[in-house]
Amino acid sequence: MPPEVVEFLAGRDRAPRVESDGGLRFFAAAPGIRQPLKEAQLDLSARIDEMERTGVTRQVLSLAVVLGHFLARLPADLERALVAANNRGLARLVATRGDRFSGLAALPLAHVDEAPAVLEKAIVEQGLLGAILPADAFASKAAAQRLGAVFAVAERYRAHLFVHPGPLPGEAPAPAAAVDEAQMVRRRAVAFQDTLTAAAVTFEFTDFLDPYPNAVVHLANLGGTIAFLAERIAMTAERMELPAHLAGGRLRRIFVDTASFGGRGVALAAQVLGADRMVFGTDSPALAVAPAHQGVVAAGLDAETTRAILAGRAFSVRR
């Protein structure tokens, strides 16, 4: 979260805004509803310290949520300003600490016709690698086609598009607070993975990506549950009238990261999807870096494959 985003929200006179109270800062999402800012998540020096402790030389940063809230869930009239503040802040960070950080832009999806120009500016003028996109945008091929112009820009510049769990503007919000532990698991684990799986199916089992062979498309969290489902897809391929080359389970077009998974998940994905399509992810700062690193090591892959995943070599080879 670049400080430019926090400063913008602190300058507002109504919710959603950042408020100061008794030396502490809070995010007021709506009147009477506020939560403390997680200052550790905004502290760049703390992030660098953790990178040093875990041997991470570079992180790729993107705005998945705004102080715990998906951008699409905030009032649409804030979107342009929040996107601009985020991209400006990441550009400043990349310009000053490009030795340790790269950045992915946020895009104005409530104003989707503006998104291609924002992406092009991010790449050409702001030094960013590409953009982050919400998984819900790829629930089907028809849905994905709304972002065709964004992918055309990514194709032109060989840009990186990171697909992360997230809703589209205008979608009905999830139920409020979880009523029990099972509901929380459904929301935070099952539902997130389901949306990524749907996106993976769109990218791998339709021709949507055919016009964009140079765009680098990367899905979070091992691409949902696609590694687990690959066997079932193969066993039922004939019934679904899938050609043989689509039924093997190996990824052809997308990359997946290892975020939020340990050794067993990483090992399965490497076996089924192909380790050459996998890169190291951490979900930092929502999750600590060390367990994510340990998960890749615990997968029991050969040393060269482990090094390749940790180094993000799949991206460099693809580029």
**Residue 168 in this model has a pLDDT that exceeds 60:** yes
**Residue 94 in this model has a pLDDT that exceeds 50:** yes
Confidence at residue 189, expressed as pLDDT on a 0 to 100 scale:
85
Cα dihedral 18→22→24→30 (10° resolution):
-30
Collect all residues with Cβ–Cβ distance below 8 Å to 283 and sequence separation of at least 6: 220, 259, 260, 292
Token code pair at residue 286: 């929502």
Average pLDDT of 125-153?
Answer: 98
End-to-end CA distance of the chain: 27
Please name each of the domains of the chain with its CATH number.
60-318 (3.20.20.140)
Neighbours of 29 (CB within 10 A): 18
Confidence at residue 178, expressed as pLDDT on a 0 to 100 scale:
57
**219: nearest Cα among 209, 211, 234:** 209
The Cα–Cα gap between 168 and 109 comes to 7
Confidence at residue 317, expressed as pLDDT on a 0 to 100 scale:
64
Q: Which of 110-119, 158-167, 173-182, 273-282 has the lowest mean pLDDT?
A: 173-182
